[in-house]
Amino acid sequence: MNDAIGTAPAPVEARRGMGALALSLRGMRRDLRAADVRALFVALALAVAASTMIGFFLDRLERGLERQAGQMLGGDLVLEQARPFEDALRQTLREAGLILSEQVGMVSMASHEEAFQPASLKVIDENYPLYGEVHVDRGEGVERLARGPAPGEAWLAPRLAQLLDVELGDRVQVGQTHLVVTALVEREPDQSGGFANFNPRLMMHQADIEASGLVQPGSRIEFSLLAQGAPSAVDAVLPRLRELTADGVEVRDVRRDRPQLGNALSRAEQYLSLAGLAAVLLAGVAVAMATRRYVERHLDTAALLRCFGATQRQLTQLFALQLLWLALAASVVGALLGLVGQAGLLWLLTAFLPMELPPPGPLPLLLGVLTALAVLVGFAGPTLLRLKRVSALKVLRRELDPLPASAWLVVGVASLVFGGLLWLYSGDPQLAFGLLVGGLVMLVLLWGLGWLLLSLVLRLVARMPASGGGKRQALRLGARQLARRRSASLGQLLAFSVTFAAMAMIALVRGDLLSTWQDQLPEDTPNYFAINIQPGERDAFIDTLDDAVDERTTLYPMVRGRITAINDQVPREAVPADARGDGSLRRELNLTWRETLPVGNRLVAGQWFDRSPNLAEGRVPISIEDGLAERLGLGLGDAMTFTIGGEEIVGEITSLRDLDWDSFRPNFFVIFPPDVLEGFGHSYITAFHLDRERDDISRELVREFPGVSLLNVEAILGQVRELLTQVTRAVEFVLGFVLLAGISVLYAALTASRPTRAHESGLLRVFGAGDRLISRVQGAEFAILGFASGLMGALLAELAAAGIYLAWFDLAPRIHWGLWLTLPLGGALVIGLIGHTLSRSVRRQTPMESLGLLGEA
Amino acid sequence: MILHARGLGKQVTSGERPLTILSALDLEVFPGETLAILGASGAGKSTLLGLLAGLDQPTSGELTLFGESLASLDEDGRAGLRAGRVGFVFQNFQLLPTLTALENVLLPLELAPLSNSEQRGRDWLTRVGLGERLGHLPKQLSGGEQQRVALARAFVTEPQLVFADEPTGNLDHATGGRIIDLLFALNREAGTTLVLVTHDYVLARRCDRCLQLEEGRLTPLVLDEVGA
């Protein structure tokens, strides 16, 4: 190389380096006339469009969902403790850029004339609510307000108004102050408080709290500090938050403590990024196929340039730069498409989406372009290197083509790059590695299977009688062409299989996810809780309820108790530092007793009461919810002391239970065996489903059992369902893009194989085949290819979906029989139709043109 | 001396036994001369041309091009030696189908830039009579026209040496004749050294010197003696 440059005049040498960029740019501009470059451009632009579109959408949806989750929690960050917060803390949070709102919660008596009723007080400030709106009725129907009651006002839950017999404009007494009822609260934006407090809501302003005289030393009050702000602002105060946790403050971060829908949401996100990856993989396959044709077409150019004195490095540089220009141009077009596409689709979706999505951020754009470049390097790189190896002698001896890049090298490099992308997107190197190795093993298996399939096709064709109608003849000829061109057909077979598998997998996972979600909240999910059922009215209540509803949960007895010691130590000192502020240590817990394990609970450690071991004198066996035990650092054999009505009971943990908190059933942290708690004052709780039109029953229940509180959780249920619906739409939307990417693969593959097919049909025509026969032969060939690809795609999809379920979604794998029918048949139909249509121009060519195509074009 | 081959040989392994295409071949080419290498089909003409131009490597012997021993250069070094100094005319034209006539002519200049590249390209196309067809793609040109584009491309870098491989092989007699007239005219004007490989005695006759390639060796040939 140095010798070569040494022989050239110096100014020329300088200009050579300078000219590389311009030369490659001119080359690419000229090259845009070629069909394969256009296919490559389309594939790359689609890769960028798909990844940025999904990226933009995911990013915005993610932030939107987070905002919605923040709305349910009340803020991005919620701090709770039993004493007022210090000014210094407020200052720290404000300085980090967070907007604050404070709440005080307590149970207090509300009265009106002769009626008294315990109410759950929510004392708010001017900044309430940080997220969402309150649905209230101020006498003119339900309206949405982005504020709470003003000083001097009280907003009541309709049930409280009913119990106190007040109407809008009446005054209620709270503590020592009187407030005017100005609205009935139909729905609060922040409803995540759980069911610990079953008293109906009374909302009032902070300014009235002092006059009420309710905040006294020793009163059981919960102070909350809610903060709204960017994740970076929340991150900035994390060290301070850790200290607070150790001091006994309960800290809830919207990113870690998503209320109610933790599982559904995280699965949806995993699904969306999985789908995004599938689209990228498909675009990669398309790029690989288009590149193959690009390289074949440029072998002559490379040889000629070599003849004119280009070095290997110059050739590599030239073609790499040419493709880089192409990638950049495709990135710009793709990113614009992605931006426009996501805007357009979101615009379509906003009709259904009540939540407002934040504007698109710059990160997905960057990630999209990066992904496109990675795809180009990974899926086109090894194939491109073939150009560098071309011999100058090829200009004299046409047959001297360099060997194609080894299929294993192409697959290997592509896998490495894709593995890197998997890592980038999933953030889990182990998972990325596992998927990659699994994928490669699958590919080897598929290759073998494909080889066998093609051999089988050839053998079947050989046995076919030579006579027979035109259709049979077409099938024979088509199958033979396919099987004879084994390596090219195998490449297409693998590409189509992966394409079908990716598309099918995304569809499968979608279906299973959705049905899991639907199972999670079926139609008859309880929407009413009945609490405070006294032992004396228990049987009568059951009778009345059973006459009216089909489904209800068991009646659980409920005793309120406080944890006062753990392993004979003060609870706060016995638990890990970050659990000192845990709500379970600050509030009374609802305890129950049961002879059998409740429905929906799963034993994860220890034995149920009927088989519990003998315990030390004075201890009773108890069963603890798994999550609580984990938070408090407790295990089997640990002792917990409960103070119930002034008496102490020591329980020893003999079993741990896993339960579904999203089930809308009564759930208990602690369950005692029978014959321990019966002596304490208790009431019963149950949950049931009541159709909207059977409102009369709830009125009847209230009338017959005035002491029983009925809690309508339809609103919360609705909120959860609404969110699931939105997520479902997002999932379906992303599925559409995966399909689009799949079509790009088909397009690229068919474009790439066009010259060969043109040559074959040209030859057939020379030998006397008619238009009809050629058309049928091509159709048959594509249909067989599609059928075989569908078969292999089904296998791949089943295996991959099973792996993903186990590794990622925590769902049990199952066989999808429908897939084995739809993929092969659908594949034959789709590939047959698209291939047949795309080959129409080939069939229109004269044999002269067709045969010439294999040369330079 | 512009090109000097000593004891040049090329063997390939075909099946199990080695096949000798060229053996112990000596050749000297001087600046400005025109040399024809004649041979029947399969005599190894293209192989020899490939070796002389440094497109391939001999299995024995030594070759010096522009005073530089090709044995001491790797493939890239040999390519660099050709850049801008060697022109080629091929039997099958070797024009790139997606490039216009002008772009095809400019291709070698992109590797060995000269001032006013584009103007030079236009001038050369005008000299071969295609000044009006600069923007045409190869498929829009006849065979003769395509070979004229190839001639312009061979001379555009003002090379010291032009190799021509059966330049009329794909053309009819009349067109071939016109192309040859043009080739020699351009060569004379530019004062280039021309090495022409052909099986056509009439064409070979127009060169200063003729050599016959037979059984892997070169022998001098006086065409008038064989009555061609």
The DSSP line for A684-709 is: EEEEE---GGGHHHHHHHHHH-TTSE
Percent of chain A at pLDDT exceeding 90: 11
What does the radius of gyration of chain A's CA atoms come to, in whole angstroms?
Answer: 35
Domain containing residue B200: 3-220
Q: Are A660 and A701 in contact (CB under 8 A)?
A: no
pLDDT tier at A847 (50, 70, 90 boundaries)?
low
Q: How confident is the model at residue A3 (pLDDT cuts 50, 70, 90)?
A: very low
Smallest Cβ distance to B113: which of A12, A306, A396? A12
Instruction: Answer yes or no: do A4 and B79 touch at CB < 8 A.
Output: yes
Question: To 5 degrees, how large is the angle CA A373–CA A374–CA A377?
Answer: 85
pLDDT level of residue B119 (50, 70, 90 thresholds): very high
CA closest to A32 among chain B residues: B98
Rounded Cα–Cα distance for residues B7 and B160 (Å):
24
The pLDDT of residue A534 is 85
**Distance between B57 CA and the closest CA of chain A, angstroms:** 10
What's chain A's average pLDDT?
79
Using a CB-CB distance cutoff of 8 angstroms, which residues of chain B are in contact with residue A33?
98
Provide, as residue numbers in chain B, all residues whose Cβ is less than 8 Å from the Cβ of A34: 98
The structure tokens 């790189």 sit at A381
Q: How many A-B residue pairs are in contact by the CB < 8 A criterion?
A: 116
Q: Dihedral (C-alpha) A48, A50, A55, A56: value to the nearest 10 degrees? A: 90
Determine the longest span between alpha carbons in chain A, in angstroms: 111
List phi, psi (to 5°) of B220. -65, 150
Residue B18 forms contact with A (CB below 8 Å) = no
How does DSSP assign A496-520, residue by residue? HHHHHHHHHHHHHHHHHHHHHHHHH
Cβ–Cβ gap A1/B83 under 8 Å? no
Which chain A residues are Cβ-neighbours of B56 within 8 angstroms?
Answer: 391-393
Mean pLDDT is lowest, of A604-613, B66-75, B180-189, for: A604-613
Under 8 Å CB-to-CB from A300, ≥6 apart: which residues? A394, A395, A856, B94, B96
The first and second tokens of residue A110, run together, are 């509300």
Phi-psi region of A606 (alpha: psi -120 to 50; beta: other; left: phi over 0): left
Name the β-bridge partners of A118.
A109
Tell me the C-alpha distance between B197 and B201, whole Å.
Answer: 11
- Please report the DSSP string for A173-197 in residue order: EETTEEEEEEEEEEE-S--TTTTS-
B41 touches chain A (CB under 8 A): no
The arithmetic mean of pLDDT across residues A533-558, rounded, is 84
Higher-confidence residue of A559 and A9: namely A559
CA A396 to chain centre: 58
A36 against A112, higher pLDDT = A112
CB contact under 8 A, A309 and B165: no
What is the per-residue pLDDT for A550? 72
Q: How confident is the model at residue A271 (pLDDT cuts 50, 70, 90)?
A: low
Tell me: the pLDDT tens digits for A396-436?
A: 776 777 777 677 788 788 888 888 888 877 677 877 787 77
pLDDT tens digits along A315-343: 888 888 888 888 888 888 888 888 887 77
Q: Where residue B98 sits, what CATH number does that domain have?
A: 3.40.50.300
Across the beta sheet with B193-198, what order do the strands follow?
B86-89, B161-165, B193-198, B34-38, B209-214, B217-220
Please indicate, yes or no, if residue B211 is contained in any of the structural domains.
Answer: yes
pLDDT digits (tens, 9 = 90+) for B131-163: 999 999 888 999 899 999 999 999 999 999 999
Confidence of residue A731 (pLDDT cuts 50, 70, 90): low
Q: What is the pLDDT of residue A218?
A: 61
Name the pTM for this structure.
0.65
E strand residue ranges, A458-555: 528-533
| Predicted confidence (pLDDT) at residue A756 exceeds the cutoff of 50 | yes
Asked if residue A289 lies in contact with residue A44, where contact means CB atoms within 8 angstroms, the answer is no
Report yes or no: B113 and A8 within 8 Å, Cβ to Cβ.
no
Mean pLDDT score of chain B, rounded to an integer? 88
- The answer to whether residue B75 is domain-embedded is yes
CB A687 within 8 A of CB A545: no
Residue A23: its chain B contacts at CB < 8 A?
110
Tokens of B145: 């026209």
**What pLDDT is recorded for position A265?**
59
**Residue B217 contacts residue B9 (beta carbons within 8 Å):** no
Q: Is A98 exposed, middle or buried (0-12, 13-18, 19+ CB in 10 A)?
A: buried
Q: How far apart are alpha carbons B89 and B163 in whole angstroms?
A: 6
Question: What is residue B211's predicted lDDT score, i.e. its pLDDT?
Answer: 94
The amino acid at A725: T
Q: Considering only residues A820 and A398, tell me which one the structure prediction assigns the higher pLDDT.
A: A820
Q: Residue A731: in which H helix or E strand, if any?
A: helix A714-752
Q: Which helix (H) or strand (E) holds A657?
A: strand A647-659
What is the rounded distance in angstroms from the CA atom of residue A617 to the CA atom of residue A325? 81
Q: Which residue in B has a C-alpha nearest to residue A396's C-alpha?
A: B46
CB proximity B99 to A under 8 Å: yes
- Decide if B226 is inside a domain: no
Contacts of A622 (CB under 8 A, 6+ apart): A640, A651, A652, A653, A654, A670, A671, A672, A673
Check: CB of residue A496 under 8 Å from CB of residue A834.
no
Amino acid symbol at A593 = W
Can you give the C-alpha Rg of chain B in angstroms?
Answer: 18
Structural domains counted in chain B: 1
Sequence-distant (6+) residues with CB within 8 A of A540 are A704, A705
Task: Considering only residues A236 and B27, tell me which one the structure prediction assigns the higher pLDDT.
Answer: B27
Dihedral sign computed on CA atoms, order A521, A522, A528, A534: negative
Residue B227: inside a domain: no
The answer to whether residue B13 sits within a structural domain is yes
Count the alpha carbons within 13 Å of A257 in the hemisphere toward its beta carbon: 15
Q: Is the pLDDT of residue A519 over 90?
A: no
A259 has pLDDT over 50: no
Residue with tokens 């850790």: A242
- Residue A558 DSSP SS3: strand
φ and ψ at residue A119, rounded to 5 degrees: -125, 150
Does B228 map to a domain? no
Residue pair A634/A563 in contact (Cβ under 8 Å)? The answer is: no
Distance between CA atoms of residues A310 and B171, nearest Å:
29
How distant, in Å, are the alpha carbons of A246, A796, A830 from that of A834?
Answer: 64, 23, 6
Contacts of A276 (CB under 8 A, 6+ apart): A50, A51, A54, A55, A58, A425, A734
In a domain, B24, yes or no: yes
**Structure tokens given for B71:** 């044995």
Residues of A with Cβ-Cβ distance to B111 under 8 angstroms: 16, 305, 308-310, 314
Degrees to nearest 5, angle at CA A818 with A816 and A823: 105
Please judge whether B80 and A30 are an interchain contact, meaning their C-beta atoms are less than 8 angstroms apart. Answer: no
- When CB atoms are compared, the residue of A19, A310, A857 closest to B79 is A310
Helix H or strand E encompassing A785:
helix A771-804
CB proximity B49 to A under 8 Å: yes
Mean pLDDT of B92-102: 83
Distance CA A201, CA A681 (A): 24
* pLDDT tens digit sequence for A674-705: 988 888 888 898 888 887 777 777 778 877 88
pLDDT tier at A132, thresholds 50, 70, 90? confident
Would you call B79 and A391 a contact, using CB atoms and an 8 Å cutoff? Answer: no
Best of A37, A308, A314 to disrupt the B interface by mutation (most B CBs within 10 Å)?
Answer: A308
The answer to whether the CB of B183 falls within 8 A of the CB of B214 is no
- Quick check: A461 and A480 in contact, CB under 8 A? yes
Q: pLDDT-derived band of residue A803, with 50, 70 and 90 as boundaries?
A: confident
The full DSSP string for chain B is --EEEEEEEEEEEETTEEEEEEEEEEEEE-TT-EEEEE--TTSSHHHHHHHHTTSS--SEEEEEETTEEGGGS-HHHHHHHHTTTEEEE-TT----TTS-HHHHHHHHHHHS--TTHHHHHHHHHHHTT-TT-TT--GGGS-HHHHHHHHHHHHHTT--SEEEEESTTTTS-HHHHHHHHHHHHHHHHHHT-EEEEEES-HHHHHTSSEEEEEETTEEEE--TTTTT-
Residue A255's pLDDT is what? Answer: 64
How far B141 CA lies from chain A's nearest CA (Å)?
A: 15
Shortest CA distance from B114: residue in chain A: A12
Q: What secondary structure letter does DSSP report for A552?
A: B
pLDDT of residue A266: 62
Structure tokens at A59: 């990013």
Residue B206 domain-assigned?
yes
pLDDT value of residue A622? 94
